[in-house]
Structure 1
Amino acid sequence: MPTAPRAVTAWRIAAIAALAGLAAAGHAWYGLRNKFFDLHIYAAAMRWWDDGHPLYDFAVPDATQGQLGYTYPPFAAIVMRPLAWITLGAADVLSLIAAAAALLLVAYCLTARLADRLGQPRWFLTGLAVPLLTGIEPIRVTVDFGQVNLLLMALVLGDLLILGPRRSRFAGVGVGLAAAIKLVPAIFIVYALATRRWRVAAVAAGTTVGATLLAGALAPTESWRFWSQTLRNLTGIGQLEYFSNQSLLGALARAGVPETALWLALALPMCAFGLWRARRAAQAGDEITAIALVGLTGGLVSPVTWHHHLVWLAPAVASLATAALLTRRRLLLAGTLACYACLVFSPLAYYQDHLLHPGGIVRPLLVNWYVWLALLLVVVLPVTRPAAREDRAPHTEPTKDALVAG
């Protein structure tokens, strides 16, 4: 009798190993093209600060972006300060370890409920999701640059998909820390308010304020400089029109239109619409779709959203895949595969040099690849209701009734 379960387990392990091998071969071919570029800037900034220089005076020349400085809030600098005391090689290794841990948590959060619905072990879908997620270009480039985006998404997902459903008193801390480190995740505090999760919103806001005040106490000069000057002027962050800036403002800057007023005219309704759809998804019990909608909306309306910031495309793919697998609709499955292909084989990854120069009628499509994709997904992402009495019967057979309008 034990033979069949062992055979099934062996088949699952073989499937994970095969997919991981395929992903590893692809990464070996593509390589680390950016070689922890951003992480090394962070380390240089921390050494500059540790030597007694003003943190936000730090700048390094860049061939395409001009001067690049340290633009994170002071609390992030407090967290990154140990980079000044270790070698770059050690920093690279620690970055990879942190990214791997965050990726594992993200994969689990995005697949746990789907595994229950399909009657599969959670470890199996998590194991399949990990190599698939590494193929998504914003995640791949986040690891390549040594960026923090994957860590921030793990904080938010762990908060809203693990602590939140358990009504933990700590629900909101992850969102608050993410917002204190990189501002844009603060949109999830607004999302908590929109869905009337008052306690989560209060804990998140309190955590953000507390972390910011702690940074103010430990680094008062840098805190004053950041909140009074650096944030307002966006100094050292790079050129808005650079192709990597996949926000509405970046698209407008590349089009050469008077961007500020038009950006506000587009960003405010976009923010309202994205949060409205996210609230509808949360009310239907589809938290992953809601999170994807909020993350993509935040990326679109932020003044600067480098393409590696859009790791929130991963929950969007998970939302599409969940809807496709539970409803067995071929159109949804095709859409999921097409979306995933658009992320793995992104023009921003393979044709960067060509996108630096104007010309051609397809350039506006290619150079704004993620802007168009994020806009489309915010509009069309399907909302999937949880199964009836899901907690009591997690292996309920999926039906087409699982899918509802957003």
Structure 2
Amino acid sequence: MNKDFPLTGIGSVAMHAAGHEHAEYAHLTPIFATSTFTFDSAQQGSDRFAGADKTRIYSRWGNPTFTAAEKTIAALETFGLKNPDGSQLEVKALLHASGQAAMTTLFLGTLKAGDTVLSHYSLYGGTYELMNKVLAATGVHTILIDMHDLNLVEDTIRKNTSIKLLHIETPANPTIQCVDIEAVSGIAKQHGLLVSVDNTFATPYLQQPFRYEVDFVFHSTTKFLNGHGTAIGGVLLGRDLALMNTAMWKWHVLLGGNSNPFDAFLLGQGMKTLELRMDRHCDNAMKVAEYLSAHPAIAHVNYTGLASHPDHAIAARQMKHPGAVMSYELKGGLNAGKKFTDALQMCIRAVSLGTVDTLISHPASMSHLSVPKEEREKYGITDGLIRMSVGIENIHDIISDLEQALAKA
């Protein structure tokens, strides 16, 4: 493809952003299954070590299969976004072995002992533990507040001069809470603070945080970007290209959280259908949410597509569509949650999300079993809460399975 050809659709970007100039004229990016790369001469080796592009030295440092996936994700996150001078916004992506690895690079690359990260309630459990166990052990503090209260955000920043980074997860897991990225980022920028956004649930197809001047965007690529549950991965993107190519890259390679060629290849293939998948995911999710909200066994549904959700207006402003993940409360509590989950016939009982098939989990008896009830309930994870990642199956089959399972709960 001619690099100067203007792509006007995000689906085209997902397929062509990485280019097609591959070895032996391969149509698809090959799996460069090699630990190291050869040099034609000592000078070429020296040039590669001295240059900005270190993707052809050693695969912990970089690999062409990684690069193709990184270019695609960066292009998706910046599609249609411009700099103040009208030029195309560019960001740098670093592909990791997992979302946790990417998050670790983000935190350790921006924070040091004595610093504080400001975030909100209802975070992904792995992020919460990383903050309160790993970061705490390095002397980095965490403050969690309700970021819906912008006055509280401002007041907390003023009272805690050690805050260096604001981390936002929106929509959040599993309550689907949304944070106003533009408003919170605006406050942070007034105080010279960094802002990172976990965009895993939304994907760049539904939400582009860089539109709101944030510094970093994070994804667990395991989820919707891969889309098929075939590989673990994570990515960290940053708008400061010099920082991402130097200090952040150095943290990344020294921590050793690099991806591998096969997982990067699977990610690249999965992203080609992102637009098609997300349209079907979202259409199905809206219909499921409407069905569940009217069901007598359901106390309430957490889905920002419903006007009843407290963050409905926020999501409508910053997202193209509310997405494919929801949670809902069964009136029967813990036992009802277990019975409902056991009765499923087609929907899959599993943690994780973003795969083409529908995944359902019961946090109180699964992912949050070891968390004290009082602790998890503070974050809205109650006994009867069900989390659902709506797949792309026939909508009638999804609802029929929910209906028969709810009758047995």
TM-score (norm 1): 0.25
Higher normalized strand content (fraction of residues): 2
TM-score (norm 2): 0.25
